[in-house]
Structure 1
Amino acid sequence: MTNLEDWVDGVESWGFRVVDYDEDTMYFEGIERDEDTMVTYRIAPGVFVAYINIKSRYHSENAVHSGRRGYRIAYCLNGNYYTHINDSKVLITSSEVFVGRAIPESKASYGTQEGIVAFNMMVAPDEIEGRTFLADLSREFVDVVKEIKDIGFTVKRKDALDEARGLIEALAKADRAGIGLMAFRLLATISKEQVSANRKRYFQETEDEFVAEMEQYLRENLKEPITLEQMEETFGCSKSTIINKFIHTCQYTPMKYLANLRMMEAERQLIDTNASMTYIAESVGYDNPSNFSRAFKQFTGLSPSAYRKCFGQSKNDK
């Protein structure tokens, strides 16, 4: 028996089953589609990396299993997905690295489109052993993140994004040495991250009334030039109240969340339709296609035309 098997009990609630394992690696496949896979590597005592490769449109509800509690670093190279940390809804994307709590249950997790390539790195403080360099680095990371609340924080530094992409590349090749190297480089980078006092203020617990309505309002008005002033008038709350409530529940300010929704809708249209770039830009609130293209590349790392070429209908039909 290996403590990797702590991942097994109840993992079916996430939509996976174990198909094989060795001392430091556990292999999963999707219950509904065996082409959906996950591989979990133990790269050091208390440090684990799960490589997630889901071809389908992922969705799970009320997932609970006996996995570890601790802290996580998460990144999504292809696609985007939401998950919950208790009542906080967090988005994992390609434009930033998410850092937050790791808990073995979630009331809902789902992809925003078909196809997710991502990783979850988890650090379990109680399992870190010894006084080695890697153990000390793991403890340093825990010390940096131990005060965060459920909503976590995101890192957009170029070095962190490069290391996250490098880790995905090593995971895709099943390169164990590369996985360990890139994982600990990313841990070291995150450990140097300074979370601003203003951001920490948003970690404080607040009531989340109206947030679901605000989120729905944003989703239904992607084309409109929404402002905080409009939301203030619509929902009868001050701008500062709206921002605080929204960040606590949905990770971002309303305007940043709206920008993410627009980019994810653009991704969907580029994959599922043959609509023109001008039409897609206008449908997600951009009058200027050049501004849309610039924002899209910043979000995904690819221009809209390159994204359609990689993931669009013609690619999927081959």
Structure 2
Amino acid sequence: MTNLEDWVEGIESWGFRVVDYDEDTMFFEGIERDDDTMVTYRIAPGVFVDYINIKSRYRSENAAHSGRRGYRIAYCSSGNYYTHINGSKVLITSAEVFVGKAIPEAKASYGTQEGIVAFNIVVAPDEIEGRTFLADLSRDFVEAVKEVKDMGFTVKRKDALDEARGLIDALAKADRAGIGLMAFRLLSTISKEQVSANRKRYFQGTEDEFVAEIEQYLRENLKEPVTLDRLEEVFGCSKSTIINKFIRTCQYTPMKYLANLRMMEAERQLIDTNASMTYIAESVGYDNPSNFSRAFKRFTGLSPSAYRKCFDQSKNDTKKAKPTYRVTP
């Protein structure tokens, strides 16, 4: 693996410090909370998997790590977080797999609630070596995504989501063989994903104050029956212009972005409050609790009641003893 200096330069701007490492693995813990952890595995030359497990409400400003350039696949199994790639704001969720650039500098990364379990697969083209089977798979992935814009794109195929969840399971067990298997299965699946020219045209992020105003309006009106017609009326701009500008800056159409905001607010209430399902549904714009439950399950993979129960269990798990790390000279 590259030397330690290459790994740790600027890493504290992410809120982490190195606590242990060997040739192919590096362990990190949070600077402010030592039960916030990250483990990075090198599974092949040029291919790395970061396992992120953050108990706190994560926020990092002006991250300045000068690490690898290349591409990444990102997925959250618990929680959601935003990050920036150049000027583009990107949301990482459990509802889809994100594929984009691996550019460590970011003006902000932050979780939408306490508790994030996620991974990043990073593929660094300049570090891929040889003509092995794994090297060829890595190069196939790079070839498939080489035209990706800053905004990246998302994959919602069931097989990709199943592989992402399988990788999370392997990471939770520290099963190195399983980590490698599931990561390369996901790389292969992504390599076969066809991204239309239209989607590539849309995914070109640019910062826009007009879009920021729309985003703020959506955040302040989660309970209201917001429509594109309403946005057209409020902002005095055609629906097509609103959609195009919003996608290029915030990854989604305004209506899809609003749906995501509603689900993330529902997650927060399920975790932080004892509010009833009916109350939560109404607070995020659903008159029918059954429709809310179906939408929530599509977003998280769990019903609202199962999600609350699962998160309550995860809180209990934090009471377990923190593992000790072997310090390698």
Compute the TM-score of the two structures, normalised by the length of structure 2. Answer: 0.93
- The DSSP-based 3-state class of the residue aligned with 1:287 is coil
Does structure 2 conserve the Cα–Cα contact (< 8 Å) formed by 1:79 and 1:112?
A: yes
Does structure 1 conserve the Cα–Cα contact (< 8 Å) formed by 2:297 and 2:304?
A: yes
In the alignment, structure 1 residue 80 sits paired with structure 2 residue 80: yes
The amino acid of 2:203's aligned partner reads: F
In the alignment, structure 1 residue 119 sits paired with structure 2 residue 119: yes
CA–CA separation in structure 2 for the residues paired with 1:209 and 1:109: 19
- The DSSP-based 3-state class of the residue aligned with 1:210 is helix
CA–CA separation in structure 1 for the residues paired with 2:15 and 2:215: 27
110 and 178 in structure 1: CA distance in 2 versus 1, 3 angstrom threshold: same
> For each residue in 1:113-139, what CA deviation from the matched residue of structure 2 results, as whole angstroms up to 9, or x when unmatched?
111000000000111111111111111
Residue equivalent to 2:108: 108
CA–CA separation in structure 2 for the residues paired with 1:84 and 1:150: 9
CA–CA separation in structure 1 for the residues paired with 2:192 and 2:103: 24
- The DSSP-based 3-state class of the residue aligned with 1:233 is helix
CA–CA separation in structure 2 for the residues paired with 1:21 and 1:204: 37
Residue equivalent to 1:215: 215
Q: How many Å apart are 1:204 and its aligned residue? A: 4.0
Q: How many Å apart are 1:246 and its aligned residue? A: 0.8
CA–CA separation in structure 1 for the residues paired with 2:315 and 2:41: 31
In the alignment, structure 1 residue 10 sits paired with structure 2 residue 10: yes
- The DSSP-based 3-state class of the residue aligned with 1:260 is helix
In the alignment, structure 1 residue 284 sits paired with structure 2 residue 284: yes
> For each residue in 1:159-212, what CA deviation from the matched residue of structure 2 results, as whole angstroms up to 9, or x when unmatched?
000100111111111111111000000000000000122211202465623011
Matches within 5 A, 1:242-281: 242-281=242-281
- The DSSP-based 3-state class of the residue aligned with 1:194 is coil
Does structure 2 conserve the Cα–Cα contact (< 8 Å) formed by 1:17 and 1:29?
A: yes
Does structure 1 conserve the Cα–Cα contact (< 8 Å) formed by 2:151 and 2:204?
A: no
Does structure 1 conserve the Cα–Cα contact (< 8 Å) formed by 2:203 and 2:251?
A: no
Structure 2 residues not aligned, in runs of 5+? 320-329
Residue equivalent to 2:151: 151
Does structure 1 conserve the Cα–Cα contact (< 8 Å) formed by 2:13 and 2:64?
A: yes
Q: How many Å apart are 1:2 and its aligned residue? A: 2.9
Does structure 1 conserve the Cα–Cα contact (< 8 Å) formed by 2:90 and 2:250?
A: yes
- The DSSP-based 3-state class of the residue aligned with 1:295 is helix
CA–CA separation in structure 1 for the residues paired with 2:40 and 2:314: 32
Residue equivalent to 2:324: none
CA–CA separation in structure 1 for the residues paired with 2:194 and 2:5: 35
CA–CA separation in structure 2 for the residues paired with 1:289 and 1:37: 36
In the alignment, structure 1 residue 48 sits paired with structure 2 residue 48: yes
Residue equivalent to 2:296: 296
Compute the TM-score of the two structures, normalised by the length of structure 1. Answer: 0.97
Residue equivalent to 1:188: 188
> For each residue in 1:89-121, what CA deviation from the matched residue of structure 2 results, as whole angstroms up to 9, or x when unmatched?
000000100000010111000001111000000
Residue equivalent to 2:237: 237
Does structure 2 conserve the Cα–Cα contact (< 8 Å) formed by 1:39 and 1:50?
A: yes
CA–CA separation in structure 1 for the residues paired with 2:78 and 2:146: 29
Does structure 2 conserve the Cα–Cα contact (< 8 Å) formed by 1:99 and 1:153?
A: yes
The amino acid of 1:173's aligned partner reads: K
Does structure 2 conserve the Cα–Cα contact (< 8 Å) formed by 1:281 and 1:292?
A: yes
CA–CA separation in structure 2 for the residues paired with 1:5 and 1:169: 30
- The DSSP-based 3-state class of the residue aligned with 1:35 is coil
CA–CA separation in structure 1 for the residues paired with 2:45 and 2:302: 37
Residue equivalent to 2:323: none
The amino acid of 1:84's aligned partner reads: H
- The DSSP-based 3-state class of the residue aligned with 2:209 is coil
CA–CA separation in structure 2 for the residues paired with 1:266 and 1:209: 27
CA–CA separation in structure 2 for the residues paired with 1:185 and 1:25: 21
Structure 1 residues not aligned, in runs of 5+? none
Does structure 1 conserve the Cα–Cα contact (< 8 Å) formed by 2:50 and 2:119?
A: yes
